[in-house]
Chains A and B, each alone.
Chain A
Amino acid sequence: MKRLFLAIAVLLGTVHVYAQDIYSCRNANLSFFSSAPMEDIEAKTDKAVSAINIKTGAVYFKVPVNTFKFRKKLMEEHFNENYLETEKYPYAEFKGKFSNPVDLSKDGTYDVTVEGILSIHGVDKAYKEKGTITVQNGKLTTLSKFNVRLEDHKIKIPTLVIKNIAEVVEVTVNATYVTAAK
């Protein structure tokens, strides 16, 4: 019995230690760019949240879709109302992990590959994308660019505006993390 409680204590202790390995960001920058024959469309938000566990390599992103800002306000409305259906699917979310373990304990810039499930418009799809992580003075900065095919997330572009909206949009993620230790 004593050994049992010891084991539990150790396990619970581990949970606590893990919390110090978690880095979080509450104002992650997310933007996307669509280049179509008729027009280029760009949108950005700084309201995404993210966390990285540097021990386990777990990576998490969440963005309220209606916080994306467009150059044309009407586009913003159509984006939310017609394409992403924000009232039904308010968030886009990514849950994943580093494909290979990376030691982020020292300052420097590291190339990482992250794989996981990205949920946009209520449709999940597996992604494996490259990015960089810069460690400096106890802060992590991540940068990643990857492509999202609208069809993969059941985002339908009507033929009428097919020349205005690209089938594949380039997503850029840029976030600075601090440790979430309590």
Chain B
Amino acid sequence: MLRRLNKNNHHTFYTMRILPLILACCSFTMVCHAQDDLSKMFTDSSTAHQPVIGTFKSTRIIMGHSNETLKKHELDFRVAHRFGDAGGSFGGGKTAFGLDNSTDIRIAFEYGITDDLMAGISRAKGSGDLSQIFEGLAKYHLLRQTTDDHIPVSVTLFGNATVSTMTSNDNPESASHFDQFTDRMTYVGQVIIARKFADLVSFTLSPTYVHRNRVGYMDMNNLFALGGSGRIKLSRRLAFIAEYYYPFRSQSSKDYYKSQGVKFYNPLGVGLEIETGGHVFSVNFTNSTAILENQFIGETKSSWLQGQFRWGFNISRRFSLFGKRDWKK
């Protein structure tokens, strides 16, 4: 039957039989859409520029700050501890690999004033020239990385001031000899630039400025440093973290201290970050003995390679205050 159709007939055949079929199909699809797929009515305007969350689990990485701040009305109770040298002449079995000694302890209360601004106070034992230290700190989350890379990085500002309450050293040459009250003070200013990649890996880069009002001979009142850190998530609750600081100490200062038999080392820490609901534990190993930036950046004199690294931990417990009141609003 079909074979006998000439070209003209062929044409007619297509217009009369196939075309309506195609058109009918098209219109049918349209009707189906109008009937059942209501999702087309809502375009994705609300997903634009969503902030990336959880670049780090805590406001600290190992030694220094992460880009994270506390949320509004959150209270963070923090305890950090650094033990003695695991190896070297002060470590080994006789001190249970450093557990018998503690080089620094810090206890802090930190509070979220807004979702972007936090402040805190702390007391640290101190390890370095100064000890018995009170600290006041503030931290502001300036920019948040967005999921669509409209803002590619998070930027957080951190600043603190510390006062040492130790007895003034009798030796007027000493860094801990105080002629006036301001000699007891040190300051840190820091910009924390962070980025989270594909939910698994996070990095920070932290240009840091440390100012110590009083330092030893040939030490530096103004010291710049660059901090860097990384986190790899091993599971949803466990992450591997590493952090490093490079202080820009002048050659003349290095040379002088070397002639005195003192060598400065760059702080390096590695650890695990474990989250358990409201707690975040960081279990770590560092060569630096001090906990505060004011000290570990410029005063780390212990070396990983000589076994002068130590076990340490940071514990953070976050409480939501005014939760019921805020919730009802």
Could you pull out 23 A-B pairs where Cβ atoms are within 8 angstroms? A7-B24, A8-B23, A8-B27, A12-B27, A19-B34, A24-B41, A26-B42, A53-B35, A58-B36, A60-B38, A71-B320, A71-B324, A72-B320, A72-B323, A73-B72, A73-B112, A73-B115, A80-B54, A82-B275, A87-B52, A90-B50, A95-B36, A160-B276
- Docked Cα-Cα span, A1 to B79, in Å, equals 83
Residues of B within 8 A of A11 (CB): 24, 27-28, 30-31
A60 contacts B323, C-beta separation under 8 Å: no
Residues of B within 8 A of A153 (CB): none
* B237 adjacent to chain A (CB < 8 Å): yes
- Docked Cα-Cα span, A47 to B200, in Å, equals 28
- Docked Cα-Cα span, A22 to B323, in Å, equals 40
* Closest-CB distance, B31 to chain A (whole angstroms): 6
* Closest-CB distance, B27 to chain A (whole angstroms): 4
B31 contacts A18, C-beta separation under 8 Å: yes
* B199 adjacent to chain A (CB < 8 Å): yes
B199 contacts A73, C-beta separation under 8 Å: no
Contact string against B for A residues 60-85, beta-carbon threshold 8 Å, 1 for contact and 0 otherwise:
10101011000111101110111001
A15 contacts B34, C-beta separation under 8 Å: yes
Residues of A within 8 A of B277 (CB): 78, 160-161, 164
Q: Which residue of A lies closest to B70 (CB)?
A: A73
Total count of chain A residues near the partner, CB < 8 A: 50
Q: Which residue of A lies closest to B277 (CB)?
A: A161
Which of A4, A12, A64, A180 contacts B46, CB < 8 Å? Answer: A64
B23 contacts A4, C-beta separation under 8 Å: yes
Residues of B within 8 A of A158 (CB): 237
Residues of B within 8 A of A26 (CB): 42
B residues touching A (Cβ–Cβ < 8 Å)? 15, 19-20, 23-24, 27-28, 30-31, 34-39, 41-42, 46-47, 50, 52-54, 71-74, 112, 115, 147, 199, 236-237, 275-278, 318, 320, 323-324, 326-327
A56 contacts B71, C-beta separation under 8 Å: no
A56 contacts B320, C-beta separation under 8 Å: no
* Closest-CB distance, A2 to chain B (whole angstroms): 12
A51 contacts B50, C-beta separation under 8 Å: no
- Docked Cα-Cα span, A11 to B30, in Å, equals 9
A-B contacts, CB under 8 A, total: 113
A8-B23, A8-B27, A82-B237 given as contacts; is B35 within 8 A of A74 (CB)?
A: no
- Docked Cα-Cα span, A64 to B71, in Å, equals 21
A18 contacts B15, C-beta separation under 8 Å: no
- Docked Cα-Cα span, A82 to B278, in Å, equals 13
Residues of B within 8 A of A56 (CB): 35-36
* A120 adjacent to chain B (CB < 8 Å): no
Which of A7, A51, A81, A85 contacts B38, CB < 8 Å? Answer: A51
Q: Which residue of B lies closest to A74 (CB)?
A: B318
Q: Which residue of A lies closest to B328 (CB)?
A: A71
Residues of B within 8 A of A1 (CB): 15
Q: A14-B31, A71-B323, A73-B115 given; name 18 further pairs at CB < 8 Å.
A: A7-B24, A7-B27, A8-B27, A11-B28, A11-B30, A11-B31, A14-B34, A18-B34, A53-B38, A60-B39, A62-B39, A66-B53, A71-B324, A73-B320, A74-B278, A77-B71, A86-B53, A97-B36
Closest 9 CB pairs of A and B: A73-B71, A60-B38, A11-B27, A51-B38, A81-B54, A72-B320, A56-B35, A18-B34, A71-B327
